[in-house]
Amino acid sequence: MSTHETAGGVASDFDVVIAGGGLVGASLALALSGRARRVLLIEGVAPDSSAQPSFDERTTALGNATRRIFQGLGVWDELAGEAAAIRTIHVSEAGRFGSARLRAEEQGVEAFGYVIANRVIGRALWSALQRASGVTLRVPAKVAAAEIAADGASLKLVGADGAQEVVSGRLLVAADGANSIVRAAAGIAAQVEDYDQVAITAPLLTDRPHDGTAYERFTSSGPVALLPLRGGGYGTVWACEPGRAAQLLALPEARYLEALQERFGWRAGRLLSMGRRASYPLRLSRAEATVGTRTVLVGNAAQGLHPIAGQGFNLGLRDAALLAERIAAASGDPGAPELLRGYSQARAADRGGVVRFTDSLVKLFASTWPGASLLRTLGLVMFDLSPPAKRALARVSLGFGGPTPRLARGLPVA
């Protein structure tokens, strides 16, 4: 297990212990660095390992608030050169005439967001963490057991070599994903709704470079998204029922491209070639509470969303940004009940709004009710003709309510 040494040796007692060093957990640790808090970040897989699931070739669309957070964390300059700007959003439904278009210049912004590979984001975050002050790293190490009491949390860690260690902290942060071990140890239940869909992802090249347009096309077999990538290609996400997904994954590349072309259409040009396909099941998971005794949940440990609106990571990063802000502003105990309660209340409106928005989109466009297709068409047409609705959607990256974190407003954590 690699560590960062503190002034008094290797610390085993911390103010904040973060379980999970993926995109959200690593961002939180970086936001807390240099804040006179002893922070421990635990991650089970080395960030540069090909087995690291958080930092693979999948892409993430970062909203403008997320860009500002990364600027505040000092990593945006490294990311910008690998980012593709989303300057137009095009939404349509196969077989219907309705569509909606949003253009960044009409909303007074340079771009709605930026698409970057997860491995690039992970590399930038962990490179910064290697230089961060006040942050101890345990990697690779896994949480084997956790005991949480009113005065603190104790965790047993197991390294890749089998070595064991016990650490303690005044605040335990669960950033360890939808199947969170920490959440279970805290006794916080999660509701899981299976959408009966599998997302197939792959990079894609067409016969013409993209113009900065992100496409979302709803089809009878599930939504298809094309996101612009650096270099002119697209990142694709095709959500369909599991049996169909298995068939598509088994197809040779040429046949898969034919099937995708038939479903998506020709707006992006002729589909020429693609990279390696990957897949993952789509579920909505919601923790019944985001805080407990000495514990707070962030990112997918708190809520795991369908990728239909690209809001999952952006929401999780706002979790991390506001939590870091509240911890930095507190002069005393970072795990105090009133601090955690205040954080939970402050994040409730944004969390609830994004979850409802995403879940409603999934169900609206999956509905086979006879009048649903007409309603969807009318909705897209009305949206396309409504400047206020477009302005509201353009501001989604700022959140659906509650206080906007200081980092998301271009201000320092504290």
Please give the sequence-ordered ranges of beta strands (E in DSSP) within 53-162, or none if there are none: 59-63, 84-86, 88-93, 99-103, 113-117, 135-138, 141-149, 152-159
Element (H, E) at 170: strand 164-174
The pLDDT value recorded for residue 4 is 39
Mean pLDDT throughout 109-130?
A: 94
State the DSSP string of 287-327: ES-SEETTEEE-GGGTEE--GGGS-HHHHHHHHHHHHHHHH
The pLDDT value recorded for residue 386 is 52
Whether the per-residue pLDDT at 217 is higher than 80: the answer is yes
Per-residue model confidence as pLDDT tens digits over 368-404: 555 555 555 555 545 555 565 556 666 666 778 889 9
Domains of the chain (ranges plus CATH)? 13-84+115-192+286-368+403-409 (3.50.50.60)
Query: Which residues are CB-contacts of 143 (< 8 A; sequence separation ≥ 6)?
Result: 19, 42, 155, 156, 157, 176, 181, 182
DSSP state at residue 7:
T
Rounded distance between C-alpha atoms, residue 100 and residue 365, angstroms: 14
Rounded distance between C-alpha atoms, residue 387 and residue 383, angstroms: 8
Sign of the alpha-carbon torsion through 196, 202, 205, 209: positive
Q: Which residue has the tokens 């954590």?
A: 413
Mean pLDDT throughout 141-158?
A: 95
By three-state DSSP, how is residue 238 classified? strand
Mean pLDDT throughout 29-35?
A: 96
Mean pLDDT throughout 172-193?
A: 96
299: left (phi over 0), alpha (psi -120 to 50) or beta: left
Share of the chain above pLDDT 70, in %: 88
Q: Which residues pair with 298 in a beta bridge?
A: none
Query: Which residues are CB-contacts of 266 (< 8 A; sequence separation ≥ 6)?
Result: none
Token pair for residue 135?
């942050």
For residue 171, with 0-12 CB atoms within 10 Å meaning exposed, 13-18 middle and 19 or more buried, which class applies? buried
Sign of the alpha-carbon torsion through 61, 67, 73, 78: positive
Whether the per-residue pLDDT at 8 is higher than 90: the answer is no
The pLDDT value recorded for residue 361 is 77
The pLDDT value recorded for residue 21 is 95
Lowest pLDDT segment from 83-97, 246-260, 317-331: 83-97
By three-state DSSP, how is residue 52 classified? coil
Rounded distance between C-alpha atoms, residue 246 and residue 404, angstroms: 41
Residue 82 CA, chain-centre distance (Å), reads 18
Per-residue model confidence as pLDDT tens digits over 332-344: 999 999 999 999 9
Q: Tell how strand 13-19 and strand 164-174 pair up.
A: parallel
The pLDDT value recorded for residue 101 is 84
Q: Which residues pair with 216 in a beta bridge?
A: 91, 225
By three-state DSSP, how is residue 387 classified? helix
Helix axes 372-384, 387-394, angle to 10 degrees: 90
Mean pLDDT throughout 287-305?
A: 97
The pLDDT value recorded for residue 98 is 65
Contact 169, 13 (CB under 8 A): yes
What radius of gyration, in Å, describes the C-alpha atoms of the chain? 21
pTM higher than the cut 0.75: yes
Element (H, E) at 355: helix 337-366
